Amino acid sequence: MIKNDPFANATKQVNDACDIIGIADKGIREYLAMPNKVLRVKIPVKMDDGKIRIFTGFRSQHNNDRGPYKGGIRYFNPEGGVEYMEREVMALSSWMTWKCAIVDIPLGGGKGGIYVNPKTEKLSEGELERLTRGFAFKISEIIGPGKDIPAPDVYTTGKEMTQIMDTYGKLNGNISTPGVITGKPISMGGSLARNVATGLGAAYCVREAAKALKINLKTAKVVLQGFGNASTFAGIYLEKMGSKVIGASDSKGSILFEKGAPVNKLMEYKEKTGSVVGFPGSKKVSTEELLTAKCDVLIPGALENQITANIAKNLKCKIIAEAANGPTLPEADPIIEQKKILVIPDILANSGGVCISYLEWVQNNMGYYWTFDEVANKMETNITKGFKDAYALSKKHKIDMRKATMVLAVERVLEAFNQKGIWP
Ligand code: NAD
């Protein structure tokens, strides 16, 4: 038995959506919940001291009814160990299926990784490259531009993606196949706008939510939890839409500044001092005070499990855009709903990243590359439609946005499955 099994969690969400849609058939429920394939591989690596070390890697391919599997590769060592990691990648691959369906991109869900923490274990560059290429070799038969397209995730970067692409190309007759993987550096066929994708996507979602609630973004106050890639760019783009950032935080603490501060000034300050804490004119506050500050838009953009039932009771925002994965505990959802706060769930709010990954793959397949604005505009179309479709379903079924996004996704995957049927 796995404690706090993430895959059981993912399965429950699928079953809940099936309940709302009215799918009672046990076979279809299982079909939607279970991954199509989970590959577990042994990766022998010659370490710098000459000894051989065996690593364990995974690739879970959840569903490809709408298109090739898509999802990250993480190098991580969750507390529950290797067995927990297997369940975790299964769950994450399931969430990728739903995420791609919500924004209506023709891709399915996958996820994978290696049980290793390259930061704490201090692997050398050579060891890391041998490990990455060894893993790429082991999964090479099941990935490909029309099969399964991995991307970076926790503790992996464009460098590892390039090594996987190169290994795959050399194993396949030395062909150039940039479309086998996304999140590549620009010089290797990466896409413009990838670096801002998640924050920009979250800002587009907030804009749509504000329209739905008739909130004027030009006078809106925004609080950012975290000040990394996702939250910083969400702040920058909301600022461009006229809003004011009045709070921010990072691993060193949280601050509020009544009058608001330009995000680029905060970035400069953090760059110089290592934290947003101490920013001139700001007041240092607790995490709880930051999250429950009076504002229009709260962007939890750092960690999971931040909004507990207790915090939910004291929330004073109108919109929550979950740029981070899983920032709200299930116990908080009913309280938030009762307070009529509109939650843009993670699966939609942070889907800008996978949208632009999709656009990177399209550009690779065409061999023709778009400008920053062209990429951003295409992402805007997908994510805006995803929000509107989910919002309409939430009204139709009288359910919250978290349930509505799952219903939307499950309906879309089911529609593709019904078209294809089962063969062989
Ligand atoms: P990041 O490493 O760039 O930034 C994380 C930020 O969180 C940092 O500013 C860090 O100081 C801050 N932080 C850490 N501990 C904190 C604490 N206790 N309190 C407040 N802040 C704290 O990471 P990121 O890429 O921005 O990812 C953040 C979240 O967004 C994660 O949940 C990630 O899974 C999710 N996400 C990111 C992307 C993306 O493309 N960047 C895509 C999808 C989802």
Cβ-contact 126, 87 below 8 angstroms:
no
- Check if 350 has its Cβ closer than 6 Å to any atom of ligand 1: yes
Count of domains for the chain: 2
Which residue has the CA at smallest separation from atom 8 of ligand 1? 228
| One domain for residues 130 and 211 | no
Q: What is the CATH number of the domain that holds 282?
A: 3.40.50.720
Question: Range of 46's domain?
Answer: 34-176
How much distance in Å is there from the Cα of 368 to the middle of ligand 1?
Answer: 32
Nearest to 249 by CA among 289, 294, 220, 195: 289
Rg (CA), the chain: 21
- Answer yes or no: do 161 and 43 share one domain: yes
Q: Which candidate in 37, 42, 70, 111 is catalytic?
A: 111
Q: Is-contact 249 225, C-beta < 8 A?
A: yes
Tell me: do 152 and 113 sit in the same domain: yes
Pocket residue to mutate for ligand 1, from 198, 252, 286, 358, most atoms within 8 A of Cβ: 198
Q: What CA–CA distances, in Å, run from 40 to 148, 161, 196?
A: 16, 20, 33
Do residues 140 and 249 share a domain?
A: no
Q: For the chain, how many residues are written? A: 424
Of 326, 349, 372, which closes a domain? 349
Name the 3-class secondary structure at 317: coil
pLDDT score, position 39: 98
What per-residue confidence (pLDDT) applies to 1? Answer: 78
Q: Indicate whether 211 and 307 sit together in one domain.
A: yes
Residues 164, 278, single domain; the answer is no
Residues 322 and 266 reside in one and the same domain: yes
The Cα 174–Cα 256 span in angstroms is: 54
Local confidence pLDDT in tens for the 424 residues of the chain: 788 899 999 999 999 999 999 999 999 999 999 999 999 999 999 999 999 999 999 999 999 999 999 999 999 999 999 999 999 999 999 999 999 999 999 999 999 999 999 989 999 999 999 999 999 999 999 999 999 999 999 999 999 999 999 999 999 999 999 999 999 999 999 999 999 999 999 999 999 999 999 999 999 999 999 999 999 999 999 999 999 999 999 999 999 998 999 999 999 999 999 999 999 999 999 999 999 999 999 999 999 899 999 999 999 999 999 999 999 999 999 999 999 999 999 999 999 999 999 999 999 999 999 999 999 999 999 999 999 999 999 999 999 999 999 999 999 999 999 999 999 9
User: What is d(CA 412, CA 393) in angstroms, rounded to the nearest whole number?
Assistant: 13
Quote the pLDDT of residue 389: 98
* Binding site membership of 230 for ligand 1 (Cβ less than 6 Å): yes
The whole-number pLDDT of residue 352 equals: 98
Whether 111 is a known active-site residue: answer yes
The answer to whether residue 300 is domain-embedded is: yes
